[in-house]
Amino acid sequence: MSVNLRTVYAFAREMYPKKVNENINYGTAGFRGEAKKLEYVMYRMGLLATLRSRIKNGQVIGVMITASHNPEPDNGVKLVDPMGEMLEPKWEKIATELVNVSDNELESKVASIIKELNIDIGTHCNVYVGMDNRYHSPILLKAVADGVIALKGNVKEFGIITTPMMHYFVVCANTKGSYGIPTEEGYYKKIIGAFESIRGNQLENGNYKNRLMFDGANGVGARKMIQFLKRMNGSLNCEIFNKGEGKINENCGADFVKVQQKVPNGMPEGIEANVRCVSVDGDADRVVYFFTDSNGKFQLLDGDRIATLVANYLMSLVKKCGLKLKMGLVQTAYANGASTDYIVNELKVPVSCVSTGVKHLHHKALEYDIGIYFEANGHGTVVFSDEAKEMIKSISELSQNPEQKNAANNFIDVINLINETVGDAISDMLLVETILHSKGWDVREWFDTYTDLPNKLLKIKVQDRNVIVTADAERICVKPEGLQDEIDKITSNYKRGRSFVRPSGTEDVVRVYAEAATKSDVDQLAYEVSQVVYKMAGGTGAEPTPPETIYNSHI
């Protein structure tokens, strides 16, 4: 098969010209920004996905069009590597270079990538493309598909799907079906089958009641949850709201609930105290729980809470199976200090801290037989080594101990319930429901396992976020010189005080995180650290606001 690289330029010139001058970078979330500026980016990512598939001997590469928890006018694109992982760092750099060259340089840039990496441009290749339900996603999907076609690649369009579904499809295709069937029906069948196998006919147990309120963030998660419920045999009593009547993520969804610490808009009236409520984000890869207690107070159960619940449950399965497996939990600096203390001192599970971004957590989790990772924002999953799976399977097939055998069978169902390829809001939610059901817990019992330290997250606008340089998984600021010393001095004045700063990955702001023993202390700590950051990092605009009017902002 011959490929005429002149086609690359022709498509760009006629259909997807680059109309913006500013450079953009492929970050943790790929490329993301205003949708109206992204058509040329999408076209070029179609080109890149085709080259990536060819260098991977024709394995499927995924392209997901989504802006996740961003507002509805935004969109974005990220590539999925053959085993469901994020694009490797070397290719992130190539993606950035490819997007930032001019239209006139595009053909020669593609040619240089082919030459430098010794890509056989005539070989077979496969690209899967999916999108969330933003109104501009179809136009952007066509641009990706045209990029694949320009290099004579094979493209399969899945239409509107969640980000975790795309990761799942890619892994299924590249493992020849051993992980599952790479179709939407295959995805539902695997997860629902595992969930209902564990739950059985007893839908309620102890204090666990079969009732759940589901905030779909007006995104694709709401659509897919409707499809889940249609295929379930009444095994989950779930009421969905924010199904698409409003704008994606506007005053609703996982990010809103986590950051604003309040009930999302669209919540039905009259929900009684202690009813489990769950929010996902726009592309359904984040999930947080919440409830209103008997005093009318909002209570949040975020990714840290999910991680501790899952770790506790999986530890019990390991013990029942009589296995010796290396289990570890991976967090970021944003994890609440109380959760880390609970995991280390109560659960006796080792904790690793890595830089913000799922790719960092996922990579570290792979070092364990059972690696659990969740960001505080609710993005996470569990990964199992092949050796661990074989050991569990062996007990299931060979053990003569009925209790041990039953635990192993249960463990296999749990593994099938979990989408190991990436954080999956719906899969994670069904895992939480499974664990609470098995324990006979209501949401209050889960919440009472430990008490979160009060915390605050702020952002400071700066002229250049790159003046902030961090180390030790972003917990230490090494530049500007002297800033970390000032932060240390301030935090030493507060009981259980902790604070760190890090540059945003997408905009010229510095994130300031703080936690302390009391709410008033954390308000003051966050304010004082923000003041120092503003002065030493070149803050712009209004200075940090005193504690009386401090408000949370986005991670």
Positions annotated as catalytic residues are 68
Residue 371 near residue 364, CB atoms below 8 Å: yes
User: What whole-number distance in Å separates Cα of residue 509 and Cα of residue 466?
Assistant: 9
Can you read off the two tokens belonging to residue 539?
């803050």
User: What whole-number distance in Å separates Cα of residue 302 and Cα of residue 450?
Assistant: 13
Residues in the chain: 555
DSSP state of 522: H
DSSP string covering 255-322: HHHHHH-SPPTTPPTTPPTT--EEEE-TTS--EEEEEE-TTS-EEEE-HHHHHHHHHHHHHHHHHHHT
Contacts of 58 (CB under 8 A, 6+ apart): 123, 124, 125, 126
Half-sphere exposure of 25 (CA within 13 A, CB side): 9
User: What whole-number distance in Å separates Cα of residue 72 and Cα of residue 536?
Assistant: 34
User: What whole-number distance in Å separates Cα of residue 281 and Cα of residue 271?
Assistant: 21
Closest CA relative to residue 138, chosen from 153, 156, 155, 160: 160
Residue 365 near residue 343, CB atoms below 8 Å: no
Q: Residue 459 forms beta bridges with which residues?
A: 511
CA 418 and chain centroid, separation: 14
Q: State residue 69 phi and psi, 5-degree precision.
A: -90, 5
Name the residue with tokens 């369009």.
Answer: 157
User: What whole-number distance in Å separates Cα of residue 30 and Cα of residue 348?
Assistant: 36
Residue 255 near residue 286, CB atoms below 8 Å: yes
User: What whole-number distance in Å separates Cα of residue 365 and Cα of residue 371?
Assistant: 4
The Cβ of residue 492 has, within 10 Å, a number of other Cβ atoms equal to 8
User: What whole-number distance in Å separates Cα of residue 533 and Cα of residue 527?
Assistant: 10
User: What whole-number distance in Å separates Cα of residue 172 and Cα of residue 60?
Assistant: 10
DSSP state of 37: G
User: What whole-number distance in Å separates Cα of residue 406 and Cα of residue 338?
Assistant: 34
Name the residue with tokens 């504690």.
Answer: 547
User: What whole-number distance in Å separates Cα of residue 139 and Cα of residue 35?
Assistant: 10
DSSP state of 517: S
User: What whole-number distance in Å separates Cα of residue 164 and Cα of residue 84?
Assistant: 9
